[in-house]
Amino acid sequence: ARGPGRGGSRARHIKNTPVVNRGTLAALREQQMQLYFGGPSTSLEPSTTTTKDYEENIRQLEQDLAYYRDLLAQKSEALCKAETDLQRDEDIFDEKMKEMKGLKRSVKELSRQNQMLQRQLEHALGHVPQSEGPCSNCPDCLVPAHAPSSPVRSRDLPSPHVLVRKQNDHLASSQEEMDQVQVSCMADSAVTACEATDLHPFSLHMDGPSLQDDGPVSANVEVEEGRKEIQNEIQELEDDFTEWKEKLLQEIKTLTIHNKLKEQLICELLKTESSALEQSQLYEAKVQDLQSRVAEFKKQIQHMESHLESSEMQSAAKEAMKQEALSKLQRAEHALDKIRDRYASQSKEWAKRVEVLEKKAKTQMTHQKKKEKAKQEWLDKAIEQHLQKQERAERLERELSKRERLLKEREQILQQRMELERRRGPPAVSPKAGRPTASHGPYGQNKRKAPAAPERSGPRNGAWAAPGGGREPLALSAEEEQTLRDLQE
């Protein structure tokens, strides 16, 4: 699994890496100035459009790169949030599985109690034929003191805890009633045995044989009705439990589906992040390659200038060589423009993909929040009525300890990461690098690292030094001197 701070470390790494070598750009600008104003017979006017456009393009590329770095940081934060949501859903799934196990245990207990009640009913029915005489005179001994409760429907049961509790109470009361019936029948049989011998002839003359025949039948019918009612209640409880079980299984299925959807979204975010990193690395590699090519062209131009100065060729040939070097530089700039256009098109595609993924994430999050809200309200109504305050306090304490442990672990991870970054050491950056001065130029102190052109001096008194080392001043107009000062600034 990915750590929560991995994307942030990558973003910091990309942010710290330089995009363009500014010293090389400064040297290239100086070389262009030499090409335009280096020779003694050149009559070209100073043009600053190329350098300004080049600097403007580089500035735009840096702004785009900063934007994509911020976008990458936002995506890493969204990935961390998705991981936390996935962990929360896994915790809910574990709680539901625990509830399922508790319900299975309650089902086993109910089946065991059902078997015990059936055995007690069979035992009570076995004692009925022995007490046919006395029970015929008092058929109310087999009937419970109060009528059985009405069957409980599933909509009246808010949770399985209430079902189990009511079922246990009902089974306990029915067991006590059956014990009382058995004891009363046995006692009445012993008491009325003697009376039956004395009153038997009188009962034969007064009541006839109908009392002897109808007494056991009515008792058996009442016992059968009581047993059927108990079995019906047990069957209804089992049906309610199965319905509750099916609901929980359906909720577990929905949770697993949402977890899979979130995992797929995380995988897509990771793929987009990796592709963005690869594209940025490729772009940086291409920029470095072009910089190396520009340096090679620069060396070639210097070699050509030295060859022209040593051989003292004519000014026309020298200008032709300079034009060739300028065409090479223009081709290099054209290649850079192509790469910029390609990068802009790719960035648009990335932005479209990111928007699509954000819309998917928002829709899934809203749908998940609605379902979680409805589910939470339903669970709160079921739990708040029947759970004790002590259980909630213990659960909150466990969650608090778990979160404290997670916070401690994250703090340790952050401390270790800070220690590693402190050992590696950040790149040395001057505090005044972002504040260009008159001595440093537009790029601060980085301009000092640019290789100086051999035997070159700046403009003095409105003239430039020749590249051959000789002092051949050129007469410049006021506008040309002003443009040179602007270039220096």
Residue 143 lies in a domain: yes
Q: Which residue, chain included where needed, has tokens 């001197």? A: 481
Residue 423 lies in a domain: no
Residue 401 lies in a domain: no
Q: Which residue, chain included where needed, has tokens 């994250």? A: 410
Residue 22 lies in a domain: no
pLDDT score for 390:
72
Total number of domains in the chain: 2
Question: pLDDT digit string (tens) for 101-110?
Answer: 888 888 888 8
pLDDT score for 297:
79
Pick from 218, 235, 251: which residue ends a domain?
A: 251
The token duo for 86 is 């996935």
Residue 73 lies in a domain: no
pLDDT score for 409:
92
Q: How far is CA 473 from CA 39, 167, 465, 466, 476, in A?
A: 11, 112, 6, 8, 9
Pick from 251, 266, 292: which residue ends a domain?
A: 251
DSSP letters spanning 187-227: HHHHHHHHHHHHHHHHHHHHT-THHHHHHHHHHHHHHHHHH
Pick from 222, 251, 280: which residue ends a domain?
A: 251
Q: Identify the segments of the chain with pLDDT beneath 50.
A: 1-20, 39-47, 132-164, 181, 183-214, 428-473
* 329, 291 contact by CB (below 8 A): no
Residue 146 lies in a domain: yes
pLDDT score for 177:
56
List the domain range (segments joined by +) for residue 139.
106-251
Q: State the chain's mean pLDDT as an integer.
A: 67
Residue 161 lies in a domain: yes
Cβ-count burial 138-156 (b if 16+ within 10 Å, e if not): eeebbebeeebeeebeeee
Residue 413 lies in a domain: no
pLDDT score for 239:
85
